Structure 1
Amino acid sequence: MAEEIKYQMNGQLADNAVTVDNKEDMILVPVSNGTADEARIIAEMKAEDSGLREETIQHVFALRNRVVKRLLLSGINVNDGITYASTAFRGVIENSQWNPQKNSIVVNFQMGAELREAIKRTTVNIIGEKGSAIYIGGVTDASTRAQDASATAGRAFTLTGSKIRVAGTDAAVGITLTSAGGTVTKITDDLYVMNDPSKVTFIIPANLGNGTYTLKLTTQYGGNSKQQLKSPRSVEKTIYIGTAPAGGGGTSGGPDGGLEENPLG
């Protein structure tokens, strides 16, 4: 039955802000249909099988999460078809002692085989130009020059895109970084280096630990310095303070300290 499912995404054309001199160079921006949280996923699961009680799905959902966390944090890689997850350590070990202030555990993710197959069955519809779109087309870590969404705490980080100038009086306006644990850090005014419509550079707070963060830029910028939107609009991007997962994830170390063969190849 699963093989009969057909997936569909919509995209809108937008100017490539990186190639300023080439007005014909376009990129495709996915049309967002919102974010699915746990409640949305459970509701979708119940809709797939109306015979299941919501309480049962909630219990299985919580049990699955608990088991996956236990496995990962016991050093066991988890391959559920959607993702392949593995743990790694960050930071230099001093005096053969683990120091939570300098060392951390991170979880790297790779795309699973089932998700790769689903992508092959996905139709992309181009539904015209995005017009006054706000989007982030690229990111750069000033410390390493990396453009893989990795960032360095205490160093500059650059966003390129369209209509991303941070402006407006609404309380939500600004840039926030939300950790995987849900802690929200807002970039203060003194950390902005450049704030232009197609390029925003700011300093990553030095006290943020390594890990995955959701970067959210919210603005009322409407296209010029005199035009301000009544309601703010936002764009989000996942970034990694520290080392970004290679190819969307990482490879765990084997018993001898070498790299294990990719189980998803």
Structure 2
Amino acid sequence: MAEDIKYQINAQLADNALTPDNAEDKIAVPVSLGSAGQERILAEMKAEDSGLRPETILHVFELEKRVIKRLLMTGYNVNTGLYHASVDFRGIVTGGQWNPEENSIVVNFNVGADLREAIRNTTVNIIGNKEAAISVSGMQDVATRATDASATPGRAFTLSGKNIQLAGKDPAVGLVLVDADGTETQVTTDLWVVNKPSTVTFIVPAELAAGTYTLRLTTQYSGNSSSPLKNPRSVEKTLYVGTKPPTSGGSAGGDSQEGGGEDPLG
């Protein structure tokens, strides 16, 4: 009997790691809503039929598992509709004897007719690109220990966050300080002190005049050093070089969390 239930699952587009030079080549990645264990499954079964007592549902659930295990482990192939399961063996048998050190039992699973029907009744919605989240959650002037976005020219400054490691070959990758007039000052690689996924420490260029700057960090780091993003991502923060942030209003630089930790320069 054909199933008339319709399903929907969301997907996001991600870079195809097999074609790193083609920025337009994408694959679809399912949007996970989490994991559903036994407790969630039982709750869903209860919601389907509120007349069943929870202990009855649990008993049937456990009974099915016990019967399927017994059938499989005594040589039966099991077809539940959702899946087809069968037992197989691995390893070379020597001397005509089963050796648990060399031999093992495996169970093979294949999609069943019911699940194939559900697949045919499922609509996939593409909801956008799967972005590699990049964020700065804290800043610290290493010289003064200030966490108010103030920075000292010629001294170390630390950013803490997520996926901020400077990586990739795109010319935009790096650290740039932009003054109020739009003039950009590159923080050259020789001024990078620490470059990790959650921590970036650099020396603030000594020649910078006192003032308010926009610090722009751009990277192709994806969370996996072997698979950089095809297109760089950027995050910006306000930095007060050689001066203090305004005392009125909210927290400086849009940040109230500490960069924290030890002095990376000792």
- Hey, what does 2:69 align to over in structure 1? 69
Following superposition, the deviation at residue 167 of structure 1 comes to 5.8
Any conservation in 2 of the 1:14–1:133 contact (CA below 8 Å)? no
Structure 1, residues 152-202: CA drift from partner, whole Å, max 9, x if none?
xxxxxxxxxxx7x99669xxxxxxxxxxxxxxxxxxxxxxxxx952449xx
- Hey, what does 2:248 align to over in structure 1? none
The residue correspondences of 1:89-100 to structure 2 (distance < 5 A) are: 89-100=89-100
Relative to structure 1, the CA distance from residue 88 to residue 122 in structure 2 (aligned partners, 3 Å threshold; closer, same or farther) is: same
User: Amino acid of the residue matched to residue 36 of structure 1?
Assistant: A
More strand by share: 1
- Hey, what does 1:123 align to over in structure 2? 123
User: Amino acid of the residue matched to residue 16 of structure 1?
Assistant: N
**What's the TM-score once normalised by structure 1's chain length?**
0.52
Relative to structure 1, the CA distance from residue 133 to residue 95 in structure 2 (aligned partners, 3 Å threshold; closer, same or farther) is: farther
Q: Aligned equivalents of 1:133 and 1:18: distance in 2?
A: 21
Relative to structure 1, the CA distance from residue 96 to residue 117 in structure 2 (aligned partners, 3 Å threshold; closer, same or farther) is: same
- Hey, what does 1:56 align to over in structure 2? 56
Aligned pair count reads: 149
User: Amino acid of the residue matched to residue 109 of structure 1?
Assistant: F
> Which of 171, 177, 197 is 2:225 aligned to?
197
Does residue 79 of structure 1 match 2:107? no
Q: Secondary structure at the match of 1:4?
A: coil
Q: Aligned equivalents of 1:112 and 1:9: distance in 2?
A: 20
User: What is the root-mean-square deviation in Å for CA atoms of aligned residues?
Assistant: 2.8
Q: Aligned equivalents of 2:109 and 2:37: distance in 1?
A: 19
Which runs of 5 or more residues in structure 2 are unaligned?
135-162, 166-195, 200-222, 235-256, 258-266
Q: Deviation above 4 Å: which 4+ runs of structure 1?
A: 165-169
Q: Aligned equivalents of 2:33 and 2:27: distance in 1?
A: 19
Between structure 1 and structure 2, the one with the greater Rg is 2
Q: Aligned equivalents of 1:19 and 1:61: distance in 2?
A: 45
Following superposition, the deviation at residue 4 of structure 1 comes to 2.6
Following superposition, the deviation at residue 108 of structure 1 comes to 0.2
Following superposition, the deviation at residue 41 of structure 1 comes to 0.3
Following superposition, the deviation at residue 33 of structure 1 comes to 0.5
Which runs of 5 or more residues in structure 1 are unaligned?
135-162, 170-194, 201-222, 225-229, 231-265
Give the fraction of aligned pairs with identical amino acids, expressed as a percent: 62
Relative to structure 1, the CA distance from residue 64 to residue 196 in structure 2 (aligned partners, 3 Å threshold; closer, same or farther) is: closer
